Amino acid sequence: MKNIYIVALLCALVLGSFYSMAQETSGALSGQVKDAKGEVVPGASVVAIHTPTGTRYGIAADVDGRYFLNNLRIGAGYTVTASLTGMKSEVRENIDVRLGGSQRLD
């Protein structure tokens, strides 16, 4: 009888781990916004646009110029723009977002 409980517990753990892995459907972008001199740009606006669908994701960089955009659709075709009033915008195109991880983009 004890063996039945152990087998049932193992089955539940294995099936539960497959279920949790299957739920991962997004990715993330993170990085630090810096100007041409290499100095951080706090408060910069970072916008990622998934070009195939037009979906926009945006955030403001923190006091250290760092940003983290999560829950992004996975796949290719992102255009990422960092901007701040009075400064030249930086645009990166054809950025790929990978499943389950955070891709660094400075």
Tens of pLDDT, residues 49-87: 999 999 999 999 999 999 999 999 999 999 999 999 999
What six digits make up the tokens of 79? 């255009």
78-102 pLDDT tens trace: 999 999 999 999 999 999 999 988 8
Q: What is the total count of domains within the chain?
A: 1
Instruction: Tell me if 15 is assigned to some domain.
Output: no
Give a yes or no: residue 42 inside a domain.
yes
Minimum mean pLDDT range among 15-19, 41-45, 87-91, 93-97: 15-19
pLDDT band per the 50, 70, 90 thresholds, residue 5: very low
Q: For position 81, which CATH number holds? A: 2.60.40.10
Position 3 in a domain: no
Bridge partners of residue 28, in order along the sequence: 102
Residue 13 included in any domain: no
Q: How far, in Å, CA of 79 to CA of 47, rounded? A: 8
Full residue range of the structural domain in which residue 41 is found: 25-104
With respect to residue 17, please indicate whether it lies within any of the assigned structural domains.
no
6, part of any domain = no
